[in-house]
Amino acid sequence: MDGISPFEYNRIVTAEHFIGRDKEVSKLKTLIKSKKNALLYGPPKIGKRSIVFNALTELQRENVAIEICTIDIFNIRSLEGFLIKLATVVLDHFAETEQEKEYLSRTYIKDIELDTSKGYLLPERQVKHLLEFPECVAEEYKVHLIIYMQQFQDILLFDKPLKAISLIEQAFTKTRNINFIIVGDKRNAMDSIFVEKQFFRNLVTNINIKNISKKVFCEYITERFAAWGKFAGTKEAGEIYDAMEGDPWYIQHLAEICFLLTRDKLTSDIVERGLQHLISIHDYELHNTVYGLSTHQIHLIKAILDGVRKFSKTDILEKYHLNSSANVNRLKEALTKKEIVTFTNKNLIEFNDTLLKMWLKKYFFS
CATH number of the domain where residue 323 is located: 1.10.10
Q: Using one digit for the tens of pLDDT, what is the confidence trace for 234-255?
A: 999 999 999 999 999 999 999 9
**Distance in angstroms (rounded) separating the CA atoms of residues 17 and 58:** 16
**Distance in angstroms (rounded) separating the CA atoms of residues 225 and 264:** 9
Same domain membership, residue 97 and residue 145? yes
> Band of the pLDDT at 136, cuts 50, 70, 90?
very high
CB 279 within 8 A of CB 355: yes
Same domain membership, residue 92 and residue 221? no
Same domain membership, residue 198 and residue 65? yes
Q: Using one digit for the tens of pLDDT, what is the confidence trace for 183-239?
A: 999 999 999 999 999 999 999 999 999 999 999 999 999 999 999 999 999 999 999
Average pLDDT over residues 280-299: 97
Same domain membership, residue 251 and residue 103? no
Whole-angstrom CA distances from 340 to 145, 223, 241, 301, 363 are: 36, 34, 21, 9, 17
Same domain membership, residue 290 and residue 272? no
Same domain membership, residue 200 and residue 141? yes
Is pLDDT at 343 greater than 60 in this prediction? yes
- Positive or negative CA dihedral for 306, 350, 76, 121? negative
Full residue range of the structural domain in which residue 242 is found: 214-281
**Looking at the domain assignment, is residue 115 inside a domain?**
yes
Same domain membership, residue 257 and residue 188? no
Question: So what's the pLDDT on residue 44?
Answer: 85
Same domain membership, residue 151 and residue 103? yes
Amino acid symbol at 153: Q
Same domain membership, residue 254 and residue 105? no
**Distance in angstroms (rounded) separating the CA atoms of residues 181 and 161:** 19
- Domain finish residue from 190, 206, 222: 206
Same domain membership, residue 244 and residue 197? no
> Band of the pLDDT at 114, cuts 50, 70, 90?
confident
The total of structural domains in the chain comes to: 3
